[in-house]
Structure 1
Amino acid sequence: MAQRQRQRGGRRTPAHARHKDNEGIVPVLARAVREIESAVQRGPLSPTQRTRFQVVATLAREHRTEVKAATSLTDAQKNDELKRLDGIATILAKTATRDPSLFTLLAEDAVFSEAAQDLRVEMLRKAGIEVVVEEPAPVEEDPSAERRVTPLSVRRRKLSNPFLRPDFEIGQQRRTTSHRLDSWELLGPLFRSFELGGSSSRMDLPEASSLKAPGKLELMPHQARLIASVAEGHRTFLLADEPGLGKTAQALLAAQAADAYPLLVVCPNVVKTNWARETERWTPRRRATVIHGDGDNVDAFADIVVVNYEILDRHVGWLGDFGFKGMVVDEAHFIKNKSSQRSKHVLELSERLRSRTARPLLMALTGTPLINTIEDFRAIWQFLGWIDDVKPLPTLIDSLEETGLTPAEPAFYPAARKAVIDMGIVRRRKAEVASDIPARRVADIPVELDDEDSRSIRAAEAELARRLVQRYHAALETRRAGTVVDGIDHELVRRVAVWEREEMETSTNGENVFSMLRRIGHAKAGLAADYAAQLARNVGKVVFFARHVDVMDIAEETFTRRGLKHTSIRGDQTPKAREHAIDAFVNDEDVQVIVCSLSAAGVGVNLQVASNVVLAELSWTDAEQTQAIDRVHRIGQSDPVTAWRIIAAQTIDTRIAELIDSKAGLAARALDGSDEEVTSSADVQTEALVALLTDALTREAVRKPRGR
């Protein structure tokens, strides 16, 4: 973000920090932040002061990065300058706690206005820093437009049928005449209604008259009920069934029931071939074509067009003009970041489809719709046409109007939740609808690292904790007179953790949570592989998941030494090599272990021939962990499934495992109507840093005499 803002607001020469009290950028920022602090105490900040807050925070972040990288400064000079910046950051944090909406100005996708750009240049010049104002780059409608292609078969299809059949129902949809809610901000309350929990997030579905499917296939009752809903006319669904309950089959049969052809399917690269296979299986009279690369071999006359997120930018132009009657987005949590190009392209295609077809079939499929926050819903709801950037769209607003309530009334929230659910949220759990699927459990296996690895990792944790404590005390010393906190200031602890977390991805100096988890994963790789080998010898086929390539390498070397035949799924494989690996594991009795990348094999893979999973490295979310386990725990599984999670004892590994488990309640509370508490929507990395710093400060307090 800082780099993007420098381009917009002018380029400056690298700043050498000045350490006289009244020189350099820090005094300029200090005066501005004190002005902001005084203003927020008088009431809500004006737009001008909000802009000042954003610019001060941005410049402070940029200057911190420059100071850390400066080779002309001594360590003492760096520490002095960083201490002064911590004081500014503390005041900014206290200001934001009075007005939490200020945090949105610090997000990666926050708009940096022209006023902010001008103020930034002004502050830099006041600090005596040379600024070169750059001419703004010409605005392009879409930076990916130059890469777009139109396959030859698509051009031929247009020549054979140059006119799309108009849909005369467009424009006939009516809105209620009531405008009672027009002055209310509604998106925030709608998201809040899901945070509060309540009834199960499942729209009422009709009973199915038949479970028959093509050939000898048979639908499960929960699948047949969704198809019946489509047959009765419902057209938008957030299908959030737990992984393994046959969402692909439901989407294909829904398209058949709605006659939503041609149908567009957008999915991750790893599952697009599977969509073609499932089309042939569930709707054999329909033909699917899969787009690879520039689409030279695409069949534009097929009923179903499958494209992966990674190449969507090349094809979004002709796809938008193709005349699709339905669109399915698989693994829809991939579009939760609305600022990403793939999300923008998906939303563009949805909007263009809805502008040409009055009642298209729109389906978002995901077993894990929530990763960190309820806001993860936003892009999915927008794809489905329930909301736009600022408000609910007509069908949903009509339902909210019919409640007769406003967000000022507590009863609005359960009613609003139900209104959204009735738009098409369907969530079924294995325990409810697939009683024939055996139980699943996660069992932790603590392992002791060898002495050398253990000492190295503990030293790294101690170094990170020492740095956090030092930063905490530096910030504490800058507090204004009269501010007293008895014991640990937990608000400041969290602020320090957030600052550290923000720098982890940009700084390569010192230890951080990422580097420690990688080191721990490497250290326990051999132990995890040994455990998997024992399982394979005793109970049969085993699926081994790891995050890093070096861990996978160690595991495969271990299995080779143990005489275990194995295969693997990695991110750099071709689709053909991937299919060969899966077929070997599923069909060859001698292949006892498959070593899988969490990122490459966490979705779109059916490995139910095994019932034991070894998780050699921790995921950052419960959702990712669940996706991995559900490669085995699926319809057709005949044995109880156990996931063996390998945990390095007496390291931060243990704490992170606890944090992942504590966040597992988010989807349960928002989608399943569970009363389970959601501990926090903050990411696990920040929570791990909070825990590490809190533990270190607690130990420090025990060591020091009281009152010192």
Structure 2
Amino acid sequence: MLEQGAEVTVDLQDAAARFLVYRPDGLPMEPNCPPPMQQCTATLVLPREGAAVGPGPVECWQVPVRLLTNALAQVEDGGKESHSATVWRQVIRLGLEVVAGGRVRPGLDPAGRDVWRAEPLNEQEKKRARQLRQALTPPAHCGLAADVKPFRLWAPRVVVRAALDTVAEAMLRGPGTAVVLGSGPFTAPLPRVQSHSPLVSWADDMEEERAGSRALDLVLSVRAPRKNSPEDTELLWADLRLRDPRAEPTRRSWVPAASTASDPQITMLLRRQLRRLAALWPPLERLLERPVADEFTLRATEAVVLRGSTVKELARLGMAVEWEGKWTDRLRTRVVLGSPSPCPPSAQRPSFSLTDVLDGRWQMSVADEDLTEEEMDGLADTPVPLSKVRGQWVLVDEDTARRAADRQLPPLSSGEALRASLTGELLVEGHLVHCEPAEALADLVDFLRSGARTTPVQAPEGLQAGLRDYQRQGMAWLANTTDAGFGALLADDMGMGKTLTALALHLHRRGEGRRPAGPTLVLCPASVMINWEREARRFAPGVPTLRYHGPDRNLEDATDQTLVITTYETLRRDAQVLAERIFDLVIADEGQTIKNQRAATSRAARTLRSSCRVALTGTPVENHLGDAWAIMDFLNPGLFGTYRAFREQYAKPIEDNVADSGLTGRLAALLSAFMLRRRKSDPGILSELPPKHVGSRIVALSDEQVHLYNEVADRALRELRDSDGIARKGLLLTLFGDLQKVCNSPSHYLRLPADAPWDPVRESARSAKLAALDDLLPVLTDPEESTLIFTRYRAMARQLLQHLRAHDLEPLYFSGDLAPGAPRQQVIDAFQSARGQVMVMTLQAGGTGLTLTQASHVVLFDRPWNPAKENQAVDRAHRIGQQSPLTVHRIITENTLEDRVDELLRHKRALAEAVLTHGYSALTELADDQIYDLISLGAQR
């Protein structure tokens, strides 16, 4: 027949090629078909007599590949072989060469059967395959691709690919293969479905490794029961659609999965993806059992799983789930918390006690409408997880049915109920569920969220100062919150007048008709104790003040009207004495001082007895989120739960994943009820404050500094290799400090004696930072300018004093060496009294509480590794009372630890905006290779 011009074409069944021989005129082949060939009828697209080209049945011979190979090889020259036969002979020859070269691999066809594939082709073979595809004329691939209109032929790319695989399958699965190797996968005489074998996963993995982990966009549409379905129906229908990857990217549309059956590659990709998905949701295996993965039936018990977390796992693998028809919005379950008895109508502010016990109960809703008790009983009693509620179908999972049957939860403490109500989530049975407050608790939550901020409070009598709008709002919030029995944290930026706001609160609590329970106790650093006294005398001259400090301290003269001022150090020493007195109000100024809940000062502060507590700080979080818990637990003992629970539920997850906006938002909702934070940069806040300009001066280490830096780093890295645990942390902390001292000055690191002579020229040559400071001196020492120079180290501060004095300057000095009280205040007054001053300060002593608005320049000679500490230092000058623009000069050594930490600080400063930072000690958790990258001298290594 081939010598007489018979045509050869390829048709595909389950992506496998079958070779068909037919007459060019479309007439039936001879009926007596010699075996192993088979007579068959195929739908081919041919010219029809008296009609256009179109599909129609044609009587053909189906020829096995081995037989066709022999027949094509025996066609004599000069015969009438058709063009299609010639091309397919060359395709078969290419397939034989690929098999002979061993370029074959095992795989699965769309039905999940084990088959051999001819790949990977080398570059020359790929070129020949492209040429053969181009040589195929319509008679050579006239099989009907799919039963769709308009009709379509199998693409040359598809049939050539399938023919090469068919050649590989025929050659490798020969008559003797099973005899020699056994009748297993890829060796049995015929391919077999391997859907339940580990072989499937192995073959799919190989295919994805070869083709990439591309996934189709799929949608499984679950249809609601029909309108006339009985209410106890259990069967549902679902169909599969996908985005056609062959369409233009801008016009990709959803199409039924069956419409892509004409493309074997898409079909195999789809079935491979469905096998992965079926491992997560077994009902999808029914799609794999169908010739075309289009639709299938499922039970309600199977569909209800798609209402849970499984749908997220399916989405991760490319399949979305949608609900078609008259389904309800998802049946929602939440917890309702609180006593059913509302507040009395006359009560302006809800009362609350942590000793109260509140109830909680499950409530179901559909389309944001609560179900009645009878409807929830119906959900509990439904025999199948498919129920009709208010004319719409709803799936009811086991948890929902159980909760509907037993709606009452165990009693909750009022603190736990309030925390849950503020965050909107409650931990039940190990899972976070949505919750809402009811009645009295709802009134309280509404008050804390908005009422305390919006209810106006008149400025108190006796206040001799005009409050700015934001200060008046802050005082009203403090008054409303403390009057309701809660502690409050005023966390405005430093320099926004928190002291004056707190004094206004003290006066408010002693207004007409009020009977304070005792005096007000102010806790503050020693450096600002006198400032509190002066502020009180200036703005509240009628308030008696008592400084509880010094060897003769006592509380005998303190009345209910008195403002008692003491230091945190005195509190620690006199914890028992102060705990015996009842105060009306305790104010913790620079509240971050009690951020360590285990420290003696923090423990002492918690023993104080008072009607309410207030904390003032511009940095509620300095090192980690545990700082915020410690302050909040001081203000409202027990309300925020235990530190361990707070750490596990909020702090650690947020610090591990700062991008978790949901968890961050819930924590912010909890904190904001008891914390008021405004920024200087907020609209309408201190708009008259002069601008602040921040710049960095990057300097290169001197040769001596480079030598010392590498010596310190190399020695430390050798020691680190043999250390772990606490010893390793100690080594790292010492290393970081030593490297910063080297960056400051060789004399600082080498501990130059304080009485040694100081040569400013020589020292500037040794230290790049001192040289940079010399460059700044003409600006810093202008008679119209005043400058603060901050350093972390007392030793460096003393060397800076020597250096400035060597330049004929008379700098002031403020550090922890100065005794608290008058000596420190004298230095501050001297700086504030005139222009042209330069003051050297240590960060520890001068970073909090001081007002130094005379400064027009701030120099950070060595930076703290905590953005909050740096802000504290700069805001000594950039605060209410500042009249001149402020310029901040950061001096940073290039390519050093300082330079890299500067990058970390920029990131950390952004986190702090969301009340999130990692501690300085986090650097000690880095691996050795990360430490090396952090401390090595960059381009100079």
2:834 to 582, 588, 592: 588
Greater helix proportion: 1
Task: Answer yes or no: is 1:226 the counterpart of 2:477.
Answer: no
Tell me the CA shift for residue 285 of structure 1: 1.0
1:340 to 594, 599, 612: 599
Which runs of no fewer than 5 residues in structure 1 stay unpaired?
A: 1-168, 195-200, 354-359, 393-408, 473-495, 506-510, 672-677, 704-708
Structure 1 equivalent of residue 801 of structure 2: 556
Q: How far apart are the structure 1 equivalents of 2:773 and 2:853?
A: 20
- Map residues 208-357 of structure 1 onto 2, 5 A cutoff: 217-232=465-480, 233-234=483-484, 235-259=486-510, 260=516, 261-296=518-553, 300-302=557-559, 303-349=562-608, 352-353=609-610
User: What SS does the aligned partner of 1:324 have?
Assistant: strand
Structure 1 equivalent of residue 699 of structure 2: 447
What code does the residue aligned with 1:277 have? R
Q: How far apart are the structure 2 equivalents of 1:377 and 1:602?
A: 20
Q: How far apart are the structure 2 equivalents of 1:682 and 1:177?
A: 43
Change beyond 3 A, Cα 1:610–1:688: farther
RMSD, matched Cα: 3.9
Which deviations, in whole Å up to 9, do the C-alpha atoms of 1:670-708 show, x marking residues without a partner?
38xxxxxx6788634556976432468999xxx9xxxxx
Tell me the CA shift for residue 612 of structure 1: 0.9
Q: How far apart are the structure 2 equivalents of 1:467 and 1:441?
A: 42
- Please say if residues 441 and 642 of structure 1, whose CA atoms lie closer than 8 Å, have aligned partners that are also in contact: yes
Structure 1 equivalent of residue 779 of structure 2: 535
Q: How far apart are the structure 2 equivalents of 1:372 and 1:452?
A: 34
- Map residues 466-545 of structure 1 onto 2, 5 A cutoff: 466-468=718-720, 470=721, 500-504=728-732, 512-523=735-746, 524=767, 526-527=770-771, 529-538=773-782, 540-545=785-790
Among all aligned residue pairs of Structure 1 and Structure 2, give the percentage whose two residues are the same amino acid: 27
Change beyond 3 A, Cα 1:696–1:541: closer
- Please say if residues 213 and 219 of structure 1, whose CA atoms lie closer than 8 Å, have aligned partners that are also in contact: no
Greater strand proportion: 2
What code does the residue aligned with 1:649 have? E
Tell me the CA shift for residue 556 of structure 1: 1.4
- Please say if residues 337 and 343 of structure 1, whose CA atoms lie closer than 8 Å, have aligned partners that are also in contact: yes
Tell me the CA shift for residue 536 of structure 1: 1.9
What code does the residue aligned with 2:472 have? A
Task: Answer yes or no: is 1:436 the counterpart of 2:688.
Answer: yes
Q: How far apart are the structure 1 equivalents of 2:890 and 2:928?
A: 22
Tell me the CA shift for residue 228 of structure 1: 2.1
- Please say if residues 422 and 670 of structure 2, whose CA atoms lie closer than 8 Å, have aligned partners that are also in contact: no
- Please say if residues 549 and 566 of structure 2, whose CA atoms lie closer than 8 Å, have aligned partners that are also in contact: yes
Tell me the CA shift for residue 498 of structure 1: 8.1
Greater relative CO (CA pairs within 8 A, separation 6+) = 1
User: What SS does the aligned partner of 1:638 have?
Assistant: coil
Which runs of no fewer than 5 residues in structure 2 stay unpaired?
A: 1-350, 361-408, 426-447, 511-515, 644-659, 747-766
Which deviations, in whole Å up to 9, do the C-alpha atoms of 1:433-462 show, x marking residues without a partner?
111112323211112333222321233223
Q: How far apart are the structure 2 equivalents of 1:439 and 1:497?
A: 46
Which deviations, in whole Å up to 9, do the C-alpha atoms of 1:573-595 show, x marking residues without a partner?
12222111111111134x52011
Change beyond 3 A, Cα 1:318–1:664: same
Structure 1 equivalent of residue 617 of structure 2: 366
- Please say if residues 895 and 937 of structure 2, whose CA atoms lie closer than 8 Å, have aligned partners that are also in contact: no
Q: How far apart are the structure 2 equivalents of 1:170 and 1:216?
A: 34
Structure 1 equivalent of residue 886 of structure 2: 641
Structure 1 equivalent of residue 358 of structure 2: 176
- Please say if residues 497 and 686 of structure 1, whose CA atoms lie closer than 8 Å, have aligned partners that are also in contact: no
- Please say if residues 455 and 476 of structure 2, whose CA atoms lie closer than 8 Å, have aligned partners that are also in contact: yes
User: What SS does the aligned partner of 2:596 have?
Assistant: coil
- Please say if residues 620 and 684 of structure 1, whose CA atoms lie closer than 8 Å, have aligned partners that are also in contact: no
User: What SS does the aligned partner of 1:205 have?
Assistant: helix
Q: Which has the larger radius of gyration?
A: 2
Change beyond 3 A, Cα 1:695–1:437: closer
Tell me the CA shift for residue 621 of structure 1: 0.6
- Please say if residues 237 and 425 of structure 1, whose CA atoms lie closer than 8 Å, have aligned partners that are also in contact: yes
- Please say if residues 189 and 413 of structure 1, whose CA atoms lie closer than 8 Å, have aligned partners that are also in contact: no
Tell me the CA shift for residue 272 of structure 1: 1.6
Task: Answer yes or no: is 1:627 the counterpart of 2:866.
Answer: no
Tell me the CA shift for residue 224 of structure 1: 0.4
What code does the residue aligned with 1:336 have? K
Which deviations, in whole Å up to 9, do the C-alpha atoms of 1:350-393 show, x marking residues without a partner?
xx33xxxxxx231111111111211211211111115368459x
User: What SS does the aligned partner of 1:544 have?
Assistant: strand
Q: How far apart are the structure 2 equivalents of 1:462 and 1:650?
A: 16
2:453 to 205, 229, 232: 205
Tell me the CA shift for residue 283 of structure 1: 1.8
Q: How far apart are the structure 2 equivalents of 1:680 and 1:588?
A: 38
Tell me the CA shift for residue 347 of structure 1: 1.0
Q: How far apart are the structure 2 equivalents of 1:602 and 1:430?
A: 18
User: What SS does the aligned partner of 2:454 have?
Assistant: coil
- Please say if residues 689 and 883 of structure 2, whose CA atoms lie closer than 8 Å, have aligned partners that are also in contact: yes
What code does the residue aligned with 1:321 have? E
Q: How far apart are the structure 2 equivalents of 1:465 and 1:390?
A: 42
- Please say if residues 532 and 614 of structure 1, whose CA atoms lie closer than 8 Å, have aligned partners that are also in contact: no
TM-score (norm 2): 0.45
Structure 2 equivalent of residue 150 of structure 1: none
Q: How far apart are the structure 2 equivalents of 1:325 and 1:212?
A: 17
Which deviations, in whole Å up to 9, do the C-alpha atoms of 1:225-244 show, x marking residues without a partner?
12223444355211111100
Q: How far apart are the structure 1 equivalents of 2:925 and 2:419?
A: 24
User: What SS does the aligned partner of 1:461 have?
Assistant: helix
Change beyond 3 A, Cα 1:450–1:276: same
What code does the residue aligned with 2:453 have? L
User: What SS does the aligned partner of 2:774 have?
Assistant: helix
Structure 2 equivalent of residue 693 of structure 1: 932
Tell me the CA shift for residue 270 of structure 1: 1.4
Change beyond 3 A, Cα 1:607–1:299: farther
Q: How far apart are the structure 2 equivalents of 1:512 and 1:187?
A: 46
Structure 2 equivalent of residue 662 of structure 1: 907
Tell me the CA shift for residue 651 of structure 1: 2.0
- Please say if residues 460 and 507 of structure 2, whose CA atoms lie closer than 8 Å, have aligned partners that are also in contact: no
Structure 2 equivalent of residue 79 of structure 1: none
Q: How far apart are the structure 2 equivalents of 1:290 and 1:587?
A: 25
Tell me the CA shift for residue 220 of structure 1: 1.2
Q: How far apart are the structure 1 equivalents of 2:846 and 2:889?
A: 17
